[in-house]
Amino acid sequence: MSDNTTSTKPAKKTAGAFDIRNIIGSLLGLYGVILLLAGLFADKALDKTGGVNANLWTGIVLIVVSALFLGWARVKPIVVPDEVEKVGDDPTRPAPRRRSGGH
């Protein structure tokens, strides 16, 4: 008989909401929704854009790009290591200079 116990691996920690792709995707999505609503309900200004509802199309594109960013962050999350090795001081880097004047 085989033993069906599963090994309990510690869950990988991800950047989550602090992943820059989530922040960018959320902002693009917010701007996309605003422009989409402006394109649907506000003055279309078709005479200024050559007959194209620019707010509507820009809002749709921003929402699609936002979905791509958020999907990318979900499919390939950034894994945060449990421990980070402390980096030694670089001897080739000059030390910071003290300001004159006693500050």
Backbone angles phi, psi at 79, to 5 degrees: -90, 130
- Tell me, yes or no, whether 95 lies in a domain: no
- Tell me, yes or no, whether 89 lies in a domain: no
pLDDT in tens, 43-77: 888 888 899 999 999 999 999 999 999 999 999 88
At residue 12, the pLDDT reads 75
Mean pLDDT, the chain, rounded, equals 84
Distance, in Å, from the CA atom of 55 to the CA atom of 69, rounded to the nearest integer, reads 21
Beta pairing partners, 64: none
Query: What tokens does 44 get?
Result: 């279309």
At residue 93, the pLDDT reads 76
The whole domain housing 68 covers: 26-78
Is 27's pLDDT higher than 80? yes
- Tell me, yes or no, whether 42 lies in a domain: yes
Total domains in the fold of the chain: 1
SS (H, E, C) the chain: CCCCCCCCCCCCEECHHHCHHHHHHHHHHHHHHHHHHHHHHCCCCCCCCCCCCHHHHHHHHHHHHHHHHHHHHHHCCCEECCCCCCCCCCCCCCCCCCCCCCC
- Tell me, yes or no, whether 13 lies in a domain: no
